[in-house]
Amino acid sequence: MITFSINGKEVQGQEGWTILEVARWHGIEIPTLCHHGALEPYGACRLCVVEVNDGKRSRVVISCMYPIRTGINVQTDTPRVLNVRRWIVQLLLDESPESPKIRELAQTLGVTPSRFQKKGVDFACHLCGLCVRVCQEVVGVQALSFSNRGLRKEISSPFHTASKECLGCGTCIYICPTGAMEQVFLRVHG
């Protein structure tokens, strides 16, 4: 049994659990975009940052992948955490200005688009990869993948053609938090 504290509250957990899991179990909400109970943690969105103090020094880490340790002191909403989270939302907003989830987050955190915002995007996807992972981990096929890199990164089927692997089960549309998958699904399923 590992004992540590979140926001001053003493909590317990087992070897291998992550901070996010323990926090949620105790009703402490930490915002996430790419985390889902059915899938392995992925650490893509970095939104779930928390401040971890192990007595010697304090660090900002992502809670969805950080394994709990005895004696650490976790803070989920210090000014430092909020500042980092605002910066992350700023970058995400510039990357995916049309995503409803990210717009909502930006509004609550008071983030506005910067001058580096991606222009000409009419697509809500924010590249959390839930669809790609659910297709592989749960459905058991690989009909979806990321393609391209950097600014041109997108979700598509291999070679941008209708995938023969796709079962048409629609799990990707179900898990998509932005609704962008509806369009991609049409292309992938063919």
Partner 1 sequence: MNTESKIGIFLCECGGKISSRIDLPQVCEQLRYESWDHLGVYPYPCLAPGIAAMRQEVEAKGLNRILVAGCSSRVMKKRFPNALASVGVEKYQVEMVNLKDHVAAVHEGTPQELARKAAALIAGSIANLKLLEPYEPVPLNFEGPALILGGGISGFAAARELAHQGMECVLFSRALTPERVLDELYRTFPGCRLFCGELGELFREVFAHPLIKVMPDQPIDYIIGGVGDYRVGFKGPDATVTEVAGSAIITALDREFAGADTDYLGGGERVCDLLDLEERLIEGDDSDFKPGKMLFWINSPEHGQAAQEMATVAAWRDSLVLAREHPQVKSTVLYPANVRLPLTGADLVEARAHGIGLQSYAPEVHPVVLSGYLTYVNPSDHLEHELAWDNLVVSAVPGEPVAKSQELLRWLPIYPENGGALKKSHVKFWPDQVPDESLFFTGSAGGLCDLNEVLQQGKKAARGVLRLREKALEGRLVSPVVVQVDKDLCEGCGLCTEICPCGGIEHVKPGSVALPREADNHLCTGGGTCAATCPYEAVRVLNNTAQQLEARIKALLGRMQADEVLGFVCGWGGLASAEQAAVKGLTYNKGIYLIPVNCLGSLDPFILSKAFLSGAKSIMLAGCTPTHSCHYAYGVDHCWHRVNVVKKLLSLAGLERRRLAMGYVEVNEPESFVSMVESHMDGMEKLPPLPQDDKTKARLWAIHATLHRPRVRWVLGTSLRRPTEKEFPGSQFNAVDADDTMLDVLREEFLAARIIKALGDQLLNPPGIARIMEEPVKNITPLLPDMASEGRITLKSWEGGYPIYAVGKA
- Residue 148 DSSP label: S
Q: What angle do CA 17, 45, 178 make, to 5 degrees?
A: 115
Please say which residue, 89 or 184, places its beta carbon nearer to partner 1: 184
User: Which range of residues in 45-53, 78-86, 101-109, 171-179 is near partner 1 by CB under 8 A?
Assistant: 171-179
Cα–Cα distances (Å) from 159 to 109, 143, 177, in that order, read: 38, 11, 25
The verdict on 110 binding partner 1 (CB under 8 A) reads no
Contacting partner 1 within 26-55 (CB under 8 A):
26-27, 29, 36-38
3-state secondary structure of 132: helix
Q: Which is nearer to partner 1, 14 or 112 (CB)?
A: 14
Amino acid identity for residue 112 in this structure: T
CA distance 125 to 106: 16
Residue from 6, 22, 48, 155 in contact with partner 1 (CB under 8 A): 22
Q: Which is nearer to partner 1, 100 or 113 (CB)?
A: 100
For the CB of residue 136, give the shortest distance to partner 1 in the complex, in Å. Answer: 11
Measure the CA–CA gap between 73 and 57, rounded to whole angstroms. 11
Residue 174 makes contact with partner 1 by CB under 8 A: yes
Q: Taking contact as CB under 8 A, which single stretch among the options 101-109, 110-118, 136-144, 149-157 is the one that binds partner 1?
A: 136-144
Burial of 10 (0-12, 13-18, 19+ CB in 10 A): exposed
Residue 116 binds to partner 1 (criterion: CB under 8 A)? no
Of the listed pieces 2-10, 69-77, 114-122, 176-184, which binds partner 1 according to CB under 8 A? 176-184
The C-alpha atoms of residue 142 and residue 165 are separated, in whole angstroms, by 7
When asked if residue 134 is in the footprint of partner 1 (CB under 8 A), the reply is: yes
CA distance 99 to 114: 16
Give the residues lining the site for partner 1 (CB under 8 A): 13-14, 16-18, 20-22, 24-27, 29, 36-38, 134, 137-141, 167-171, 173-176, 179, 182, 185-186
